[in-house]
Amino acid sequence: MPSYIHAPFFDPTLNTGYTTTVANGSSVTYGDPQIGAHPPRYQNWSMGLQHAFTNSLTLTVNYVASNGHFLGGGSRSAWGNQIQPKYMKLGNLLTSKASATTIAQAAAIFPEIHLPYANYAGSIAQMLLQFPQYSSVSDAFGEVGNSNYNSLQATAAKRLSYGLTFNVNYTFQKTFDDLGTRSSWWSEKAQSSDSPQMLNATVVYNLPFGKGQMFSGNPILNKVAGGWQISGITTFREGGGWGSVGGSCNLPSAGSCYVDMNPNFTGPVRIAATPRTQI
């Protein structure tokens, strides 16, 4: 058996690279059980009122809400090993190889830019990562996402009387979460409700003809219309809200491409129905 080695015994150069001697770095995984190693947690609450207008007609109004914490996903800020969105202002410099000339050009825009370590060799984008010596950094746990749901739910219901029964329900809801993020540096919540408003209605009406019905004196109508029902099901759904418009573009180590993340972008994201182009 090998002899026991007292900590710390890890080699700090493990998987590192992007130097004058090692062209590329490898990935590294970390885990902080105090931050991410929690089981998902949900809290649900509701309150409501119900009023009976008649023996067969009721109206119910409920407030229903929930929130979730320690969900899969979420923003990791510096630990996501992505460049800050502000550096996208560097444009094509991001893909340029770091040299005295390109670093000076980048520092003219952001004075804080400099070599991360003396023997660095790689692109400007790689140089701006929080951990430029690694190709990627991943979290073994990563359950740091959050969600929040609020809704107003109203239901009008009528039990069968005078041949008529119906159920009409309306929901006004909003769901926000930070599970899908533009960048590790962006922690804003985005609305994810596919249908912010929904209305559903079901109606069944028994035609008042036939034995024991309101209009049972006409034998012809009793034969033709007796025992029939008229029913309908209707659903109205409002579409989801517009999110930020993404496109296909070159963003090294920066996360998803969104037009309005570009520091040089001004004005609305959309002109009429056509998304604007990120330059």
- For the residues 231-256, what does the mean pLDDT come to? 68
- For the residues 235-254, what does the mean pLDDT come to? 63
The alpha carbon of residue 54 and the mean position of all alpha carbons in its chain are separated, in whole angstroms, by 44
In whole angstroms, give the CA distance from residue 229 to residue 200: 20
Task: Give the pTM.
Answer: 0.63
In whole angstroms, give the CA distance from residue 126 to residue 133: 8
146-175 pLDDT, tens per residue? 889 999 999 999 999 888 999 999 999 988
pLDDT of residue 6: 74
In whole angstroms, give the CA distance from residue 122 to residue 107: 16
238 versus 55: which is more confidently predicted? 55
pLDDT of residue 186: 66
In whole angstroms, give the CA distance from residue 92 to residue 112: 19
pLDDT higher than threshold 80 for residue 14: yes
In the block, tokens 């359950």 appear at 143
**73 contacts 145 by C-beta, under 8 angstroms:** yes
In whole angstroms, give the CA distance from residue 265 to residue 278: 7
pLDDT of residue 3: 79
For the record, the structure tokens of 93 come out as 């410099």
